[in-house]
Structure 1
Amino acid sequence: MPQCSPASSIFERTAEDVVNEEQFAAIAKALAHPARVRIVAILTELETRNGCLNSDLVTELGLAQSTVSEHLRILKKAKLITAEPQPPRMCYRINSEQLARFSTLLAKIQAP
């Protein structure tokens, strides 16, 4: 029967690795729903036009107000979007820096 070799240094993790993995998982969890992916896609498209979304996301997504509010809360908690009051509505924007951070973390995980 073959013997398993002890874990080599490639499996060792630094404190930075742990933090990066936790951050990646938190962002991935926030993106783990099609409606939240759609919200991010909409806001990313608006960002290219230097705009923000202050229209009715409920109509855009075809979901209940409470459901949309929960999706927005999760995306804000993950710092993927920001919300700025523009009475009588909120203006939602993508947080490009956090999206770039997610991409960077993904690249680190994929690195040999």
Structure 2
Amino acid sequence: MYLPQAKLKAYVHNFIEWLLGDLPSEYGTNWVRLFLLSLLVIIGNTVPYALWSAYIEGFPQTFNYPIRFANALYYPLVTFTTLGYGDMHPTGWLKALSALEALTGAVFMALIVAVIARKWMR
């Protein structure tokens, strides 16, 4: 099946608009969905950081799993909010995961501002 370039471009544009606008916040109207999706991204990134914590320089190594999970939760929270204290930094393939999480966090923070502004303008 061959799609003309203009039609393919429209499909890609519509998908990106859905992915960044409708899915996370229903175009700036649903702050609960945005909050829950943010939590999902943070918790979803906590698991790989906990499992492969040896690839994060500065990560406190322990066999106590609740403490390891708490430390692993700290890193995605700092990364998602693009705060970046610098006390831990990933190596290897976790760099790509951290970069993707930081980009997602920046987009979601902008969406939070849009949702709040939209609520105030009503």
TM-score (norm 2): 0.32
> In proportion to residue count, which structure has more helix?
2
Larger Rg: 1
- Which structure is higher in strand share? 1
Normalising by structure 1, we get a TM-score of 0.34
